[in-house]
Structure 1
């Protein structure tokens, strides 16, 4: 998982803020950046895959809805499937 420099700076500040506010501990920029790299490499793929699974489920639901809508448009004929 790759982040731009600006994204890394923002996330690093969020990590530092979390440590300060929630853990009442200070973490330097280097350590926060290192922690970000660790999570991006080791934990990030789990979040990425979950996002893919969620997107796939959403797409399947939409395709199902479209299929039902097409059947609703179908006219009655003597032909049977």
Structure 2
């Protein structure tokens, strides 16, 4: 599965890469080169970040599912307990 960015997010990422190079590297990077670098990161490093995010989401969901019985538990056969009070 390849990681795709929406057009606007991709353009913002390219602009950010260009700015990073201007401010932190000896030579600036052009728009095309920044796009190529972004493609490299998305293909090479993106899957690791994506997989970790999926793992994190699974862990959070599993924790919530484990608490489901606490959140929505209803006592069984409670009619006679409440009927005695009336």
Task: Place the TM-score, normalised by the shorter chain, in its bin.
Answer: 0.7 to 0.9
Stretches of structure 2 that go unaligned for 5 or more consecutive residues are 79-86
Q: Structure 1: which 4+ aligned runs deviate by more than 3 Å? A: none
Q: Deviations over 1:9-59 (max 9, x none)?
A: 111001111112233531111110000000001110001101100100110
Matched pairs, number? 76
67, 70, 76: which one aligns with 1:68 = 70
RMSD (CA atoms):
1.9
Which one has a bigger Cα radius of gyration? Answer: 2
- TM-score, with length taken from structure 2: 0.75
Shift, 1:70, TM fit: 3.9
Stretches of structure 1 that go unaligned for 5 or more consecutive residues are none
